[in-house]
A and B are shown apart, each in its own frame.
Chain A
Amino acid sequence: MLEARELTKRYEGKADRPALDRLNLHIPGGEAFCLLGPNGAGKTTTVNLFLNFIAPTSGQALVGGVDSAREPLEARRRLAYIPETVMLYGALTGLENLEYFTEISGGRRLARAELLALLGEAGLAEEAAFRRVSGYSKGMRQKVGVAVALARRAQALLLDEPTSGLDPLAANEFAALVEKLRKQGMAILMVTHDLFLAKQCGTRIGVMQAGRLVSVFGADDVDHLGLERAYLEQFRGAAA
């Protein structure tokens, strides 16, 4: 479902090393692949390439077989995306934001009750749905983002540090949701620094360093301590 073929990104003015170096990755439906790695390792670059927010220098990022660089709109239509902080329109209510994003997404026009149900499923209290987003906490914004992703019924989900800044309870709820979506057959690529979240949600875990995917574990093949050790080794390597 999500596939990277020799995917490379080299930023102008930073010719010494590519931000992403010949990444090969295949995430079929029903799998959650968690990408770990220090800042600047190329994790977010990978997500941005799948969204075609940046153009690849070489290689391909495929979503359901669609090359995101050649057909970015078609590729995006197959994706849902939740960034580190879901940015919404502050002057609109949570419900209006969801209504807006689902209208833009296409598909069947959802009734108000259905939209409220989606927000409820994402964990947002009904009274909050009618308040302007400018007064929302980060967690509440993330929940609206989740509701948008749910409404889109996408084939694949890209998550870029989605629980960063969330309290443990909200992070745990989020992990449960990701697990549920994976079981529904969605292909999930999640970028995170949270080892516990990666272990909880991922079916496979990859560690990146300096633009390269340096190791991949099956989530069941490694315990938390082993994962932490492997991660810290890469961190130290990057620092050195």
Chain B
Amino acid sequence: MSEIVVAKAPATQAPAGRWRVARAVALKEWAELRRDSRLAWLFGLVFLLMLGALAFGAAQHMRLDRERAAAAATDRALWTGQGAKNPHAAAHFGQYAFKPQSPLALADPGVDAYVGEAVWLEAHKQNEAQFRAARDAGVGARLGGLSFAFVLQTIMPLVAVLLGFAGFAGERERGTLRQLMSLGASPVDILAGKALAALGALSVLLIPAFAAAVLATLFLADHDFSVADQLERLLALSFGYGLYLAGFVFLALGVSAFAKSTRTALVLLLAFWLANCFLAPRVMTDVAKRVATLPTALEFRNAIAEDKKKTFGHDESHPAFVAFRDGVLAQYGVSRIEDLPVNFRGLALRKDDENGFVIFDKHFGALQAGFDAQDRLRAAPGFLFPALAMQPFSTSFSGTDSWHQYDFATAAEAHRRRIQTAASEDLIHNARYGDAAYVASRDMWERIPSFDYAAPAVSFALSHARGDLVALALWAVLTAALAGFAARRLRPL
């Protein structure tokens, strides 16, 4: 060796600052990742999957939008073109309320495919949505399609595991951990550096993918959805997925610090990944179904029919009808229906509708409360198995969860009620009692506007996803604490 000039020894070197250590570790890890061709292939594949899922989602979205617009135009033409007709007959003729698709459904289709895209609005009945895309799909649809949300919820945690499982166990096996720890740096700072590098690597995948999602959302947003609202929702989604994936990075590093070998770390993490992404959602769905039971479709309809029997409908011998008639006569101070200054048939129809509204609100409200109870029960262990919290959080901010569907169904029902009331009001004020030949003109059908749905704002999503957000935050905090604990106990041998 050549001549050595060594500085005087005794003074101890000032310890490296926490940030300096974390930065150095992150830069080193980053350099290693960049030079690992296997990782480049993996990242390329996952990135293509994400772009493919977004492109597929956007194409699907545009197709459904076109179909919806065409169907809505046809339906409107049928409604306005029904000619001179008795208003109540027109109410029975009915029309469709089509659900405008949230632009973010391209990222997470949620329950949209399973709950139907249109509600048939007709007299006396509140219908459930129909035309479920899942029904038109083949058996393969039961396995779930490729969506951006699937890649983020299932594939990306796997990438996080692959990035982190060797974080400490690999260094221990290679012997570099001994070298590293002999330098006197805090293992927690080393952990922070490794976590920074892994999160940075995930961001390399996520930032362009989210940028693509922003562009697609801007492209797909129309008058039904505010662009600002959609961007706020995307921001919330980025935050939620950030917590979800950060938790996986911390978990992978924590397990790696505990595990004796990389093989042990990988097996444990893959087992958790399987449990989180595939087992827990199914098990908790079953548990929720058994604990918070819901009526079957038949039971639900029968219960409504039972309650409806208590109202009079078109049955003029029904005691409720008689009571209503007597009340109206007394109110107007006449003894015969024919002497009323307004059309009693219109009044009776309006009253029957009002009775029905209360019954529908009660049953559909209870059904939604049941769905919500199941959802909350299913998501309860979301801080341990974060997919249980991530899935509802994602569908909520994508506008494709059951609450957004309920909001649409409620708006459609409100529109139906406006039609019913308009038809009844027309009868009340323009038709004579017993005049079966009374008809309203096309002008009246045109006065009744098309169904125009204003989707709820991001605050609506937040109000229903607050518990999921707390669970995701808890998941990230718990895994960070686990990783910190494991790092403090770290031994290089």
B-binding residues in A (CB < 8 A):
29, 48, 51, 53-54, 64, 73-81, 83, 85-89, 91-92, 96, 100-101, 103-107, 120-123, 143, 145-146, 148, 150, 152-155, 173-174, 176-177, 180-181, 184-186
* Contact B493–A76 (Cβ < 8 Å): no
Besides the contacts A79-B184, A101-B180, what 11 more A-B pairs have beta carbons closer than 8 Å?
Answer: A81-B179, A86-B179, A87-B178, A92-B28, A100-B24, A105-B16, A106-B13, A153-B7, A174-B1, A181-B4, A181-B6
Stretch of B30-38, B141-149, B433-441 on the interface side: B30-38
Are the CB atoms of A103 and B24 closer together than 8 Å? yes
- Residue on B nearest A106 in the bound complex, by CB: B16
A185 CA / B5 CA spacing, docked (Å): 13
CB distance from B190 to the nearest CB of A (A): 8
Does chain A have a CB within 8 A of B218? no
Of A29, A81, A107, A150, the residue contacting B182 (CB under 8 A) is A81
The answer on a CB contact under 8 Å between B12 and A155 is: yes
With contacts A91-B35, A121-B4 taken as known, whether A103 is within 8 angstroms of B12 at the C-beta atoms is: no
Report Cα–Cα, A78/B11, bound state, in Å. 9
B182 touches A51 (CB 8 A): yes
Collect the chain A residues with CB atoms within 8 Å of residue B4's CB: 121-122, 150, 177, 180-181
A selection of 26 A-B contacts at a CB cut-off of 8 Å is A54-B491, A73-B15, A77-B15, A77-B183, A78-B12, A78-B184, A79-B182, A83-B178, A87-B179, A91-B35, A91-B36, A92-B28, A101-B183, A104-B21, A104-B180, A104-B190, A106-B184, A121-B2, A121-B4, A122-B1, A143-B1, A146-B1, A150-B6, A174-B1, A184-B8, A185-B9
- Knowing A83-B178, A92-B28 are in contact, say whether A104-B9 is a contact too (CB < 8 A): no
Main secondary structure, interface of B, reads loop
B127 within 8 A of A: no
Q: Which single member of B8, B17, B23, B493 contacts A54 (CB below 8 Å)?
A: B493
Minimum-distance CB pairs A-B, first 8: A87-B175, A106-B16, A76-B184, A77-B184, A123-B1, A103-B24, A107-B13, A173-B1
Which residues of the other chain, A, contact B174 by a CB distance below 8 angstroms?
87
> Please, which residues of chain B bring their CB within 8 A of the CB of A78?
12, 184
Are A155 and B16 neighbours in the complex by a CB distance under 8 Å?
no
Q: Which of A73, A92, A184 contacts B184 (CB 8 A)?
A: A73
The total of chain B residues at the interface (CB under 8 A) is 44
Using Cβ atoms and an 8 Å threshold, which residues of chain A touch B492?
53
Give chain A nearest CB distance to B262 CB in angstroms: 15
Knowing A105-B13, A185-B8 touch, does A53 contact B31 (C-beta < 8 A)?
no
Q: For chain B, residues 144 to 166, give those with C-beta under 8 angstroms from any C-beta of chain A.
A: none
Kindly identify which residue among B9, B31, B175, B493 contacts A29, using a CB–CB cutoff of 8 Å: B9
Please judge, given known A-B contacts A51-B182, A87-B179, A103-B24, whether A123 and B2 are in contact too, CB under 8 Å.
Answer: yes
Shortest CB-to-CB span from A196 to chain B, Å, is 18
Decide if A53 touches B493 in the complex (CB within 8 Å). yes
Contacts of A85 in B (CB 8 A): 175
Report chain A residues within 8 Å CB of B180.
101, 104
The answer to whether the Cβ of B282 comes within 8 Å of any Cβ in the partner chain is no
Cβ–Cβ contact B13 & A74, under 8 A: no
In the bound complex, residues from chain A placing their C-beta under 8 Å from that of B178 are 53, 81, 83, 87
Tell whether A185 pairs with B15 under 8 Å between CB atoms, given A73-B186, A76-B183: no
The answer to whether B9 touches A153, judged by C-beta atoms less than 8 angstroms apart, is yes
* Nearest B residue (CB) for A180: B4
Closest to B13 in A: A107
> Measured between C-beta atoms, what is the minimum distance from B367 to chain A in Å?
58
Q: Which residue of chain B lies nearest to A84 when distances are taken between CB atoms in the complex?
A: B175
A153 touches B13 (CB 8 A): yes
A121 B176 Cβ-Cβ under 8 A: no
Closest to B12 in A: A78
Query: Interface 1/0s, chain B 363-374, versus A by CB < 8 A?
Result: 000000000000
What residues on A are CB-neighbors of B21 within 8 Å?
103-104
Q: Which of A91, A177, A184 contacts B31 (CB 8 A)?
A: A91
Q: Do residues B183 and A105 form an inter-chain contact, with CB atoms below 8 A?
A: yes
Q: A76 — which chain B residues lie within 8 A by C-beta?
A: 181-184
Mask of B113-152 contacts with A, CB within 8 angstroms, 1/0: 0000000000000000000000000000000000000000
A170 → chain B closest CB, angstroms: 9
Instruction: Check A153–B11 contact: CB distance below 8 A.
Output: yes
Question: Which of A53, A96, A152, A173 contacts B13, CB < 8 Å?
Answer: A152
- How many whole Å from B353's CB to the nearest CB in chain A? 74
